[in-house]
A and B are shown apart, each in its own frame.
Chain A
Amino acid sequence: MKLPRWLLGFSFLVYLFLHLPLIVLVVFSFNKSKYGVSWVGFTWDWYRRLAEREDILNGLRASMIVGVVATITSAVFGTLIALAVARHRFRGRTALEAFLYVPLVTPEIVVGISLLILFVLLGFPLGITTITIAHIAFCISFVVVVVLARLQGMDEHLEEAAMTLGADEITTFWKITVPLLWPGIISGSLLAFTMSFDDFVITSFVSGTGSSTLPIVVYGMVRKNIEPSINAISTIILVATSVLIYLADRLGRDRPLKA
């Protein structure tokens, strides 16, 4: 079908709108000038300066710890829920499925303040533990959605065949279900890690004053000063999340084996 010219032109402008801000941001992370936005010359200085900043390194460490713990926990919890929903009949299944989607549409700010209220009410000290608890909570639903999609595309006959051939349920689970489900689990986990690594709003409410993840540190930088170090750290975050999402997409798209 032939597409009208204006449509091509218009779409090009929309793509420009989506990408130009990030391209400009990345380009100027290599600019020598400290204040102006005119190009002076190429430099790695802003990246080098990042490595000297204690707060950024600490933030990165906190983000990694929270991200890894939250990802592993939510991957296990989410996969188990997905298995139950896809493979079992139980009372209240429809209601549970609806409930699992609610965290995906709930505004982050609501999640953040309600958790803050809970932790303060329980007298739970705010810090890296509360951040991790919160991240697990908002990551579970993402894992469920991704793994469930994979499970629904999977051939149930393979499991039945294994059992017919004499494997018990536990063996079938580890030898058939898990290997087939693996791309879905990995893809869901990478998604969860990205969500955790990126989160600012929820974290800002439950982090207290002591510990801060990388986005909290970056937010502070964005509010306070304008030096190109922010461009540099943004570029690093940009590249890291893009790679993770690309991997998640690749692994998730793998077609399951057909019998």
Chain B
Amino acid sequence: MAGVRQRVLGLMHRRAELRAWALLAPGTFWLLLFFLVPILIMFVYSLMPRGVYGGVEPGFTLEHYRRFFNPLYLQILNRTFVWSIAATLICLLMGYPVAYLIAQSGKWKNLLMFLVVLPFWTSFLVRTFAMIFLLRDTGFINTLLLQAGLIRQPIEMLYTPFAVMTGLVYGFLPFMVLPIYASLEKLDVSLLEAAEVLGARPAARFFRVTLPLSLPGVVAGCLLVFIPSLGSFLTSDLLGGAKQVMIGNLIQNQFSAARNWPFGSAASFIVMALVLAAVVVYLRVRDRSMAGPGLR
């Protein structure tokens, strides 16, 4: 045993870089083989003709990307985009005030933060079911309204755009609150005091000091809501039904009922590209705000 130990130590000393790669090897190998390679194969699939029973035939074609210009698919792409942006904006409008409150709440800070994070860590499937339970015709809200005599017929809420939007906002709101809170927390109070001494009213202090300084958090939050909304599948699947299809459902359908793997791959690749583009935009904005004049 001692001999082995000596040899291992000797090897470690000889090449520091070798040691780093020994640590990296298993995990990196796994991620290359079961994350990167599959995505590359998916991209190749998206450029090949469709096979009869799923899968692909040898050859090269841009047909599957071209197919996206079909109004039917453009509409799905458009809907996904518009809904994701709408969900992001609603989350911003709901999340910013809450993040602001938490940042100002002193000793209640930890509890209030915990209450935001708690539902976010519970199973997404369970949370989506909770929404169904509230919104369906025989659900909690309709039963309550019927019993109170406020309505005669249940209001149709489930399987509407309203349900999907509620589901998206409900699912991703904490993603908005967390980064905005983090940037408001770091805010230097003396800047606000300076503004007050110089005669700025509360509204001016907020719009000209607090808001600009919290922008990095706002951008991060918007990205963290926008990205999962773009790729969302469960929300529109369970709350939207057959009519409110988003691109995630389109992809899933190509791999089950429609059996058009290359078209599904092309759709996936488009989503992936949009997500990476959003990340690049975020990194640009973040770097610029960090390099800007030192208001920190």
Contact = CB atoms under 8 A, between A and B. Distances in A.
Contact of A241 (B9, B100, B121): B121
Interface in B148-186: 170, 173-174
Given A19-B115, A21-B127, A140-B30, A8 B9 contact: no
A21 B121 contact: no
Nearest to B21: A90
Interface residues of B, number: 83
A109 interface: yes
A181 interface: no
A106 interface: yes
Chain B facing A: main interface SS? helix
A135 B83 CA distance: 29
Nearest to A241: B122
A157 to B, nearest CB: 19
Contacts of A136: 30, 34
A178 interface: no
Given A36-B143, A169-B9, A241-B122, A107 B30 contact: no
Given A36-B138, A107-B227, A118 B104 contact: no
A234 B264 contact: no
Contacts of B34: 115, 118, 133-134, 136-137
Main secondary structure of the interface of A (DSSP, over half): helix
Interface string A200-226: 110001000000000100110011001
Contact of B39 (A17, A114, A197, A241): A114
Contacts of A102: 35, 276
A88 B16 contact: yes
B233 A111 contact: no
A91 interface: yes
A24 B55 contact: no
A113 B276 CA distance: 18
Interface in A157-214: 168-170, 194, 197-198, 200-201, 205
Contacts of A140: 27, 30-31
B123 A215 contact: yes
Interface string B117-149: 111011111111111111010111001000100
A222 B132 contact: yes
Q: Which 5 pairs between the two chains have the least Cβ-Cβ distance?
A: A107-B231, A77-B27, A114-B38, A88-B20, A84-B23
